[in-house]
């Protein structure tokens, strides 16, 4: 921890939630009292910090209109030398693995304890981050690999035909998987499955199925 390259000089904290961002900032300050820490609010804030060149990037972030992997790649492209920690609420191990394979160095759930958050931001690429990854229960634990791929696409609003195209299998086969997913989630329709699998955005830790938001 006291090696030269594991001690970031510049830390960028990017998150749209003001209070959470502040808390992350404080935590980063606690971990690295000497570092210069900046905050960025959303995509625009991130764009405004292109010259900051942080060593460590703590971010809850998706490129507008793009998916997780694309966003991860974009981040890596923008910050090729930074240690990028995604602090978010992705509940799917598969997506986490995907972003970890595409530019993001570490992932921590927003529900994680301080300890885990600190561990993530003090870890470096040389160290083990497996322990830092996801610490939330995955409701899809009982699903097969294919079923998870299908539900991942389903919650994007994709039709069976589209899912089939993506996975390069028959729409008939997709229906098999969808059907199994519905049974697993104990719902009747794909929309209900999407809602249940997606969470509602209001309180990721507490199950629910009412309402929400989000635009485009």
Query: Which lies closer to DNA via its Cβ, residue 33 or residue 145?
Result: 145
Q: Which of residues 108-137 bind a copy of itself (CB under 8 A)?
A: 110-114, 117, 136-137
What does 90 bind: DNA, a copy of itself, none (CB cut-off 5 to 8 Å by kind)? a copy of itself
Cα distance between residue 60 and residue 66, in whole Å: 14
Q: Which residue has the tokens 């690429």?
A: 125
Based on the shown chain and the rule CB under 8 A, indicate whether residue 39 belongs to the binding site for a copy of itself: no
Minimum distance of a copy of itself from residue 75's CB (angstroms): 12
Q: What is the dihedral of CA 171, 175, 181, 187, to 10 degrees?
A: 130
Binding mask 15-34 for DNA (x = CB under 7 A): --------------------
Q: Which of residues 134-163 bind DNA (CB under 7 A)?
A: 144-147, 159-161
Based on the shown chain and the rule CB under 8 A, indicate whether residue 50 belongs to the binding site for a copy of itself: no
What does 145 bind: DNA, a copy of itself, none (CB cut-off 5 to 8 Å by kind)? DNA
Spatial neighbors of 70 by CB under 8 A, at least 6 apart, are 63
* Total count of residues recorded for the chain: 216
The crossing angle, in degrees rounded to 10, of helices 93-100 and 145-154 is 90
Query: Which lies closer to DNA via its Cβ, residue 116 or residue 187?
Result: 187
Tokens of 6: 């594991």
Tokens of 12: 């960028």
Q: Which of 2, 4, 51, 186 binds a copy of itself (CB under 8 A)?
A: 186
Q: What is the dihedral of CA 33, 34, 35, 38, to 10 degrees?
A: 70
Give the interface with DNA as residue ranges (CB under 7 A).
Answer: 144-147, 159-161, 167, 169-170, 172-173, 175-179, 182-183, 188-191, 193
């Amino acid at each position: 921890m006291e090696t030269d390259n594991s001690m970031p000089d510049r830390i960028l904290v990017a998150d749209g939630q003001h209070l959470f961002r502040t808390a992350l900032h404080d935590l980063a300050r606690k971990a690295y009292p000497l570092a210069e820490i900046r905050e960025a609010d959303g995509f625009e804030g991130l764009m405004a910090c292109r010259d900051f060149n942080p060593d460590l990037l703590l971010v809850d972030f998706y490129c507008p209109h793009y998916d997780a992997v694309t966003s991860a790649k974009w981040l890596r492209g923008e910050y090729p030398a930074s240690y990028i920690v995604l602090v978010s609420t992705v509940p799917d191990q598969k997506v986490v693995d995907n972003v970890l394979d595409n530019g993001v160095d570490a992932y921590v759930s927003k529900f994680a304890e301080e300890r885990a958050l600190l561990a993530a931001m003090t870890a470096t690429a040389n160290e083990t981050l497996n322990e830092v990854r996801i610490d939330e229960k995955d409701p899809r634990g009982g699903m097969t690999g294919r079923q998870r791929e299908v539900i991942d696409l389903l919650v994007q609003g994709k039709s069976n035909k589209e899912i089939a195209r993506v996975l390069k299998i028959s729409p008939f086969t997709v229906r098999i998987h969808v059907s199994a997913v519905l049974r697993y989630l104990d719902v009747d329709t794909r929309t209900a499955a999407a809602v249940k699998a997606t969470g509602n955005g209001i309180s990721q830790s507490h199950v629910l199925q009412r309402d929400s938001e989000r635009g485009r």
